[in-house]
Amino acid sequence: GESVGLHLPTLSVQEGDNSIINCAYSNSASDYFIWYKQESGKGPQFIIDIRSNMDKRQGQRVTVLLNKTVKHLSLQIAATQPGDSAVYFCAETSRYNNNDMRFGAGTRLTVKP
Amino acid sequence: ETGVTQSPTHLIKTRGQQVTLRCSSQSGHNTVSWYQQALGQGPQFIFQYYREEENGRGNFPPRFSGLQFPNYSSELNVNALELDDSALYLCASSRPEMNTGELFFGEGSRLTVL
């Protein structure tokens, strides 16, 4: 079946370095993608989203890249900080219809001081 | 903080029992979605309520049921609990009219079934 998945389950980076978290999706009908951050003991928190008519979107210290050709999504975090340590999920759903938002398994990012 | 509150935060039940989890959505949000998150996994969609009607359902058996009230708060009910129902249950609110799929999550209710 179709799924949203991540390439790596864990990522460890040095404070101040850039982080790249990858995600593969297989549903070619997906047209809206979101990255969420989940800290221990908390619910997922929205980071950034991108629609399928875009290939790049930037936020504060974060950039999401979408490659529809290979069905790949990535989250780049610039100047990673200890507060960025968390599990990051990519999720996909249809435009304006989030009644089946599908999440990947997550990547745990650890930032070393 | 997202403004979405869930209760209880933790609870322990035994197999065969029933449980009700509650969620208050963010002010102005008319849609509530429920997710099950097993340890070490991503959230799995259970169902969504929009204006008090079920508006989509994931691959969960009928013993998972829900309600949404006129004030848009919601309940998740699980009957005949099984050990595999042990998980973090997340509620998320949204407002589709805003033309964004962003979900605002609560901090979850952690259910342990013994």
pLDDT, one tens digit per residue, over B42-79 is 999 999 999 899 988 999 999 999 999 999 999 999 99
Measured between CB atoms, does B5 come within 8 Å of chain A? no
- Cα nearest neighbour of A46 on chain B: B102
Pairwise CB contact (< 8 Å): B43 & A103 = yes
- What whole-number percentage of chain B has pLDDT above 70? 96
Highest mean pLDDT among A22-26, B24-28, B103-107, B108-112: B108-112
Question: Per-residue pLDDT for A58 more than 60?
Answer: yes
Highest mean pLDDT among A20-34, A76-90, A97-111, B45-59: A76-90
Query: How sure is the predictor about A93, in pLDDT bands with cuts at 50, 70 and 90?
Result: confident
What's the pLDDT at B104?
A: 92
Q: Which two tokens stand for residue B92?
A: 């998320």
**CA-closest candidate to residue B24, choices B110, B111, B104, B112:** B104
Q: Prior bond to B8 cis, omega within 30?
A: yes
Q: Which two tokens stand for residue B42?
A: 């991503």
Summarised one tens digit per residue, pLDDT across range A3-24 is 455 445 899 999 999 999 999 9
Q: Which whole number is the average pLDDT over B5-14?
A: 97
Contacts of B41 in chain A (CB under 8 A): 105-106
Measured between CB atoms, does A40 come within 8 Å of chain B? no
**CA-closest candidate to residue B44, choices A102, A36, A27:** A102
What's the pLDDT at A6?
A: 46
Pairwise CB contact (< 8 Å): B101 & A93 = yes
- What whole-number percentage of chain B has pLDDT above 90? 77
Per DSSP, B61 falls in state -
Query: How sure is the predictor about A27, in pLDDT bands with cuts at 50, 70 and 90?
Result: confident
Cα B80 to Cα B49: distance, rounded to the nearest angstrom: 22
Pairwise CB contact (< 8 Å): B41 & A105 = yes
| Chain centroid offset of residue B44 CA | 10
Cα B55 to Cα B67: distance, rounded to the nearest angstrom: 11
Question: Per-residue pLDDT for B98 more than 60?
Answer: yes
Cα B81 to Cα B111: distance, rounded to the nearest angstrom: 10
Q: Give Cα separations from B36 to A29, A53, A54, B76, B89 (angstroms).
A: 24, 30, 30, 11, 5
What's the pLDDT at A4?
A: 56
What's the pLDDT at A97?
A: 57
Pairwise CB contact (< 8 Å): B41 & A93 = no
- What mean pLDDT value characterizes chain B? 93
Pairwise CB contact (< 8 Å): B50 & A44 = no
- What whole-number percentage of chain A has pLDDT above 90? 69
